[in-house]
Amino acid sequence: MVFGGGPVTAAVSRQEEVTTTILPYDIGCEPSPSAPAETLLQDGWKTYLLFFAVSKTIEETGYLKDLGVAIVECVNCSSAKIGYPNDEGLPEHSLWIHGLSDIESSISVVGCSSWLAEIRDQRERSAKRIWGNRGMTWTPDSDLDKHFVVTLKEATFECIAEELTVVEYVRDYDTAFAYVISEFKKH
């Protein structure tokens, strides 16, 4: 099975006849396991996650390569949250027993997500309420949405978005903030 760029093995669990899957999602890097400072920036149109990034593989030196600050765009993000648990608290995350514990990557996508189902249900009910009274039908464009989980040093980030993509690696947070602010000013 391939998702986000490379071969993966799914971790699966059963709960109320729904199979929740946790799959690695490849964006070309991993959050640094030792450097906190993860930051979520969003306005009404765009969502970005910033973190110190490292290579996915160990270099000839025996270490992961420092890539700088990754600017990750959460494409068409409809919901995002960041906070507890940090790396020590991950065993208490609700997805831990569904396979989050078995994933080698810090970045994953959740299949059959109850959170994604809740967001889709809210969108559908809202569309029916708003557009149905006008004699119109409207289907929310949410089939492309996925539930992403990024485990970080001092927090866990989750979002509902179409994809996660690294738009750029920069040398420091000032440069990353400047990039995001320039993107926010475009709309």
Higher pLDDT, 2 or 128: 128
Give the list of residues 6+ apart from residue 169 with CB closer than 8 angstroms, or none.
29, 53, 67, 68, 69, 70, 71
66 vs 86: CA distance, rounded Å: 21
Q: 52-65: per-residue pLDDT in tens?
A: 999 999 999 999 99
187 vs 56: CA distance, rounded Å: 34
The pLDDT-based confidence of 2 (bands split at 50, 70, 90) is very low
Q: By residue range, what is the domain housing residue 96? A: 2-184
**Please, what is the average pLDDT of the chain?**
88
Higher pLDDT, 1 or 57: 57
Position 35 scores a pLDDT of 85
pLDDT at 174 over 50: yes
Q: 4-48: per-residue pLDDT in tens?
A: 543 334 444 444 567 899 999 999 999 999 888 899 999 999 999
Q: 99-141: per-residue pLDDT in tens?
A: 999 999 999 999 999 999 999 888 888 888 887 777 776 666 6
**This prediction's pTM:** 0.86
Q: Which helix (H) or strand (E) holds 138?
A: none
The bridge status of strand 79-83 relative to strand 107-111 is unpaired
Position 53 scores a pLDDT of 97
Residue 96 structure tokens: 């831990």
Domains: count for the chain: 1
pLDDT at 185 over 70: yes
Q: Name the percent of the chain lying above pLDDT 90.
A: 73
Q: What 3-state class would DSSP assign to 182?
A: helix
